[in-house]
Chains A and B, each alone.
Chain A
Amino acid sequence: MSATDLAPGRRAIGRADVADWVAARGVYLGLLLLVVFNLVFTPRFVEVDNIRLQFVQVVPVAIVALGMAVVIGTSGIDLSVGSVMAIASALLALYIGYGPLVAITIALLAGAAVGVLNGVLISRFGIQPIVATLALLVGGRGLALVIAQGRLTEMFDPVLGAIGSGQFFGVPIVVLIALGVALVVAVLVARTTFGRYVVASGGNPDASFLAGVPVRRTLLSVYVLSATLAASAGIIQTARLSAADPSFVGNLIELSAITAVVVGGTPLSGGRVRIVGTLAGAMLMQLIAATLISHNLPDSVTRMVQAVIILGAVFIQRPRIAA
């Protein structure tokens, strides 16, 4: 209230600023608190195997969330990511006979194709992202089951095995892949014209169009990016399990990914993308699940805690009406 004791010319730190900070960086605070909690209360938390496991388990969600963050930056959403993972997984099993490279390429291309379909529906035909990608959420899973003929297929391919459980100086390959993907997406967002087009299209599509921004092409691209990343997450998941299970792979991952993005400080209204925050968000959700499991709380509790965190994240990001 009283502003008299403030240095002239400097902005006071008000409640709004604190709320802004929490909305943008609260995820790191949460992560820190959770790590401290685990250090104190969870036995065997600091063991290498446990830490490795946490990082390995977060990889699929993290990769999907990176694509989701870019989509959300355009004020869109991609609900089809889980089904794309299933399609990629089913195709991997179907074509693994032609060798791992061919199978992986086909799986990635199929993912990209789904992305093109999403993108065309949204950018050309003006269908709302939530509707267009919902259609593919439902249809895509069905397609995956048709490809796999509803079966779980086990695979014993050395290359896939190496991807799934290999390590490089003690660091799992999948973690390195995720870091590489994160780096590429981060550069894409922060350092390229494409990145600017994403946040501009999300922030004000009409203004962007008049400024010569290729809004439609940008929208199409983000859905292709998201679906391709989802396909790679599907491949990684399949490689880790050494089996393609299209009825299970990527189930409900769209919710985890959206949660990671939102908790990480990217507003659902678009116009901003936070890559490191998204990774931290994914890690936060992973650690919460792990913490609850190691303290013998059932999975159902984990889901409810996740729900509370989503609500909390959206609550602090809500637009403030009084300036």
Chain B
Amino acid sequence: MTAASVGETVLEVQDVSKRFAGVVALDGVSLGLRTGEVHALVGENGAGKSTLIKVLTGAYQPDHGRIVYRGEPVTFARPLDAQAAGISTIYQEVNLVPVLSVARNLFLGQEPTNRLGLIDFAQMHRHTTAILQRYGISVDVRRPLRELGLGMQQMVAIARAVSGDHRVVIMDEPTSSLEPREVERLLEVVDLLRRGGVAVVYVTHRLEEVFRLCDRVTVLRDGRLVHTGPVADISRLELVSRMLGREVAEVARGETRFSDRKTDQATQPILRATGLTRRHVLDHVSVEARAGEVVGLAGLLGSGRSETAKAIYGAQPLDSGSVEVEGAPIRPGSPRAAIAAGLALIPEDRKAEGIVPMLSVRDNIVLAALPRMSRAGFVSERHQDAVVKGLITRLRIKASSPDQKVSELSGGNQQKVLLARVLCLDPRILILDDPTRGIDVGAKAEIQMLISELAEQGMAILLISSELEEVVEGSDSIVVLRDGAVVGQLRAEEVSQDGVMGLIAAARRESDSLPASGGGIEGDATEVDGHVGD
């Protein structure tokens, strides 16, 4: 399965420590990476994974300890040195230039030139097409990168990082913005690297990937190495308990997070969205939800699940269709009207559409509820703090005070701030678009528990997740979408991962060429027609 050179240590971290202003980020961590292995690096947020990666890539200098690369102690003064030595890193956020073409991005800084020293675009486009094809991506490489979906952009970033000659490839949560089929492709790429004798450091929050893909796993907690060893020698439960630092029994109890709820299908739905249609985005999508019911919206990226969520919330322009709350239609195209009708949304992209980074935790939490938390247009911080502090305690948001800037919080805590924002509204219908994406295991479990709790209290919830497992476990019924249309609905005992995948697969006719994802379609109808016809 793996290359013959397995076992040879290529990169070694020896007793490395790093502190920031008195806070210990890494404490005497030692770790060896072998050629031809995929080494999982796991731990909750703040465990020290990012710091370790930055020490490996030369972004940080260790305070103590050393790094041995190919048998010799090395010092990487900056990331470029590590890159030149053959250590490539793929960061969680896509570090590319959205306005440049796909090809320009792939060859950024190493563009092929012709005799005149000008960029040889023909050659660059040819090479890019060939490289991307290897990873199963077929796009027009001359189009700007931003026209691709987030997942595609991530794949381009990965293709860029692994296209050179590298001995060590570090991947920081590479699948966090990928779709299941893209994940499959990525796993194949990683396997390819392994066979080529590359040492892969694979940082992830997803346990399935650890067990499916990785040879060894290292667990960090509070800056210390708490476990390292072959994946085959550890069980899921043990791994989770090492990450959380809790007893196995405790974790097991915590895992039964979604309790069974019986929803009476005879009651009238509180939310009724009918015939939501937007040319090339949504095609007569109808969704209903009852009080106390969690309705999952499942489908691949670009299937229209996020667009459906936004359409219901009034943030997606529609050609036709209506949304009713308890029989009363909502004015379309206005989130403000949707909020007034009892809807609330946590958007998919926390950074771009969720938090307002420069504002405080308090201001972020009360933002949506300002009209009802003010008197004659005047706001009182004291009055707000009564509510804000309650929510900070209830959701266990780790912030030094309500005055702390929200951008200083970790991803999980930022997500909790967004949850607090919608809870301030006391909504009757809550739409959650991938609420646990890219956050640590602990915060994830807490959020899943909260969703369940809110439904029990009688809230209707629309749940979207990039993890099929999460939708299936959390939902009472699931609406399955493909290419902007509903292809089926699963209720109660029909809800299963197989059921959802079956519907998605069954609906797949014609070719399996990918239409452009929803985001890229808007305003460019003719272009899309061309793609679909491929």
Contact with A along B165-189 (1 / 0, CB 8 A): 0000000000000000000000000
11 A-B pairs within 8 Å (CB atoms) are namely: A3-B19, A7-B22, A193-B370, A193-B371, A193-B374, A195-B379, A196-B366, A209-B335, A210-B315, A210-B353, A214-B336
Interface residue A299 (Cβ < 8 Å from any Cβ of B): no
Interface residue A320 (Cβ < 8 Å from any Cβ of B): no
Question: Given B315, B352, B356, B374, which contacts A200 in the complex, CB threshold below 8 Å?
Answer: B356
Closest 8 CB pairs of A and B: A271-B358, A12-B21, A203-B356, A211-B368, A212-B339, A212-B336, A204-B356, A6-B22
Q: Are B353 and A207 in contact (CB under 8 A)?
A: yes
Task: Tell me whether A204 and B355 are in contact in the complex, defined as CB-CB below 8 angstroms, given that A12-B21, A211-B368 are known contacts.
Answer: yes
Interface residue B296 (Cβ < 8 Å from any Cβ of A): no
Beyond the given A197-B370, A208-B356, please list 19 additional residue pairs across the A-B interface where CB-CB is below 8 A: A6-B21, A12-B21, A191-B380, A192-B379, A193-B377, A194-B377, A196-B363, A196-B366, A196-B367, A196-B379, A199-B356, A200-B359, A203-B356, A204-B353, A207-B356, A208-B367, A212-B335, A213-B370, A271-B357
Cα distance A190–B347 in the bound complex, in angstroms:
28
Contact with A along B348-366 (1 / 0, CB 8 A): 0000111111110001001
**Chain B residues closer than 8 Å to A195, beta-carbon distance:** 379
Contact with A along B472-486 (1 / 0, CB 8 A): 000000000000000
**Chain A residues closer than 8 Å to B359, beta-carbon distance:** 199-200, 203, 271
Q: Are B354 and A207 in contact (CB under 8 A)?
A: yes
Q: Are A210 and B19 in contact (CB under 8 A)?
A: no
Question: What is the minimal beta-carbon distance from B493 to any residue of chain A, in angstroms?
Answer: 35
Interface residue B39 (Cβ < 8 Å from any Cβ of A): no
**Chain B residues closer than 8 Å to A203, beta-carbon distance:** 356-359
List A residues 1-46 near B (Cβ within 8 Å). 3-4, 6-12, 14
List B residues 318-373 near A (Cβ within 8 Å). 335-336, 338-339, 345, 347, 352-359, 363, 366-368, 370-371
Question: What is the minimal beta-carbon distance from B528 to any residue of chain A, in angstroms?
Answer: 23
Interface residue A154 (Cβ < 8 Å from any Cβ of B): no
Question: What is the minimal beta-carbon distance from A320 to any residue of chain B, in angstroms?
Answer: 13
Interface residue A274 (Cβ < 8 Å from any Cβ of B): no
Question: Given A9, A210, A272, which contacts B345 in the complex, CB threshold below 8 Å?
Answer: A210
Interface residue A157 (Cβ < 8 Å from any Cβ of B): no
Size category, A interface: 20 to 34
Tally of contact residues, B, Cβ under 8 A: 32
Residue of A nearest to B60 (CB): A322
Q: Are A271 and B356 in contact (CB under 8 A)?
A: yes
Q: Are A192 and B378 in contact (CB under 8 A)?
A: yes
Cα distance A204–B345 in the bound complex, in angstroms:
16
Q: Are A3 and B22 in contact (CB under 8 A)?
A: yes
Question: What is the minimal beta-carbon distance from B138 to any residue of chain A, in angstroms?
Answer: 30
Interface residue B205 (Cβ < 8 Å from any Cβ of A): no
Question: Given B354, B368, B379, which contacts A212 in the complex, CB threshold below 8 Å?
Answer: B368
Cα distance A204–B354 in the bound complex, in angstroms:
8
Q: Are B22 and A211 in contact (CB under 8 A)?
A: no
Residue of A nearest to B355 (CB): A207
**Chain B residues closer than 8 Å to A12, beta-carbon distance:** 21-22
Identify the interface centre among A4, A9, A207: most chain B CB within 10 Å of its CB. Answer: A207
Residue of A nearest to B20 (CB): A3
List A residues 198-222 near B (Cβ within 8 Å). 199-200, 203-204, 206-214
**Chain A residues closer than 8 Å to B374, beta-carbon distance:** 192-193
Interface residue B305 (Cβ < 8 Å from any Cβ of A): no
Cα distance A192–B373 in the bound complex, in angstroms:
11
Question: Given A3, A193, A206, which contacts B353 in the complex, CB threshold below 8 Å?
Answer: A206
Residue of A nearest to B352 (CB): A206
Interface residue B104 (Cβ < 8 Å from any Cβ of A): no
**Chain B residues closer than 8 Å to A272, beta-carbon distance:** 358
Interface residue B421 (Cβ < 8 Å from any Cβ of A): yes
Contact with A along B379-409 (1 / 0, CB 8 A): 1100000000000000000000000000000
Residue of B nearest to A1 (CB): B63
Contact with A along B18-32 (1 / 0, CB 8 A): 011110000000000
Enumerate chain A interface residues (CB-CB to B < 8 A).
Answer: 3-4, 6-12, 14, 191-197, 199-200, 203-204, 206-214, 271-272
Question: What is the minimal beta-carbon distance from B302 to any residue of chain A, in angstroms?
Answer: 20
Q: Are B21 and A3 in contact (CB under 8 A)?
A: yes
Residue of A nearest to B380 (CB): A191
Cα distance A9–B400 in the bound complex, in angstroms:
11
Question: Given A8, A9, A192, A209, which contacts B315 in the complex, CB threshold below 8 Å?
Answer: A209
Cα distance A149–B358 in the bound complex, in angstroms:
48
Question: What is the minimal beta-carbon distance from A187 to any residue of chain B, in angstroms?
Answer: 8
Question: Given A9, A191, A214, which contacts B378 in the complex, CB threshold below 8 Å?
Answer: A191
**Chain B residues closer than 8 Å to A206, beta-carbon distance:** 352-353
Cα distance A211–B370 in the bound complex, in angstroms:
10
Question: What is the minimal beta-carbon distance from B110 to any residue of chain A, in angstroms?
Answer: 22
**Chain B residues closer than 8 Å to A210, beta-carbon distance:** 313, 315, 335, 345, 347, 353-354
Q: Are A193 and B379 in contact (CB under 8 A)?
A: yes
**Chain B residues closer than 8 Å to A194, beta-carbon distance:** 377
**Chain A residues closer than 8 Å to B347, beta-carbon distance:** 207, 210
Task: Tell me whether A211 and B21 are in contact in the complex, defined as CB-CB below 8 angstroms, given that A193-B374, A271-B356, A272-B358 are known contacts.
Answer: no
Question: What is the minimal beta-carbon distance from A216 to any residue of chain B, in angstroms?
Answer: 11
List B residues 1-54 near A (Cβ within 8 Å). 19-22
**Chain A residues closer than 8 Å to B354, beta-carbon distance:** 207, 210
Question: What is the minimal beta-carbon distance from A170 to any residue of chain B, in angstroms?
Answer: 34
**Chain A residues closer than 8 Å to B357, beta-carbon distance:** 203-204, 271
**Chain B residues closer than 8 Å to A11, beta-carbon distance:** 21-22
Q: Are A207 and B352 in contact (CB under 8 A)?
A: yes
Q: Are B353 and A199 in contact (CB under 8 A)?
A: no
List B residues 111-160 near A (Cβ within 8 Å). none
Question: What is the minimal beta-carbon distance from A271 to any residue of chain B, in angstroms?
Answer: 4
Question: Given B335, B358, B377, B380, which contacts A211 in the complex, CB threshold below 8 Å?
Answer: B335
Cα distance A279–B371 in the bound complex, in angstroms:
30
Question: Given B336, B358, B368, which contacts A199 in the complex, CB threshold below 8 Å?
Answer: B358
Question: What is the minimal beta-carbon distance from B385 to any residue of chain A, in angstroms?
Answer: 15
Residue of B nearest to A9 (CB): B22
Cα distance A210–B418 in the bound complex, in angstroms:
11
Question: What is the minimal beta-carbon distance from B49 to any residue of chain A, in angstroms?
Answer: 16
Cα distance A11–B19 in the bound complex, in angstroms:
12
Cα distance A197–B371 in the bound complex, in angstroms:
11
Cα distance A204–B356 in the bound complex, in angstroms:
5
Cα distance A204–B357 in the bound complex, in angstroms:
8
**Chain B residues closer than 8 Å to A199, beta-carbon distance:** 356, 358-359, 363
Cα distance A210–B310 in the bound complex, in angstroms:
9
Question: What is the minimal beta-carbon distance from B21 to any residue of chain A, in angstroms?
Answer: 4
**Chain A residues closer than 8 Å to B367, beta-carbon distance:** 196, 200, 208, 211, 213
Cα distance A199–B357 in the bound complex, in angstroms:
11
**Chain A residues closer than 8 Å to B377, beta-carbon distance:** 192-194
Task: Tell me whether A200 and B363 are in contact in the complex, defined as CB-CB below 8 angstroms, given that A6-B22, A11-B21, A192-B374 are known contacts.
Answer: yes
Identify the interface centre among A192, A207, A208, A211: most chain B CB within 10 Å of its CB. Answer: A211
**Chain A residues closer than 8 Å to B22, beta-carbon distance:** 3-4, 6-12
Residue of B nearest to A269 (CB): B358
Residue of B nearest to A197 (CB): B370
Cα distance A197–B377 in the bound complex, in angstroms:
11
Question: What is the minimal beta-carbon distance from B20 to any residue of chain A, in angstroms?
Answer: 8
**Chain A residues closer than 8 Å to B315, beta-carbon distance:** 209-210
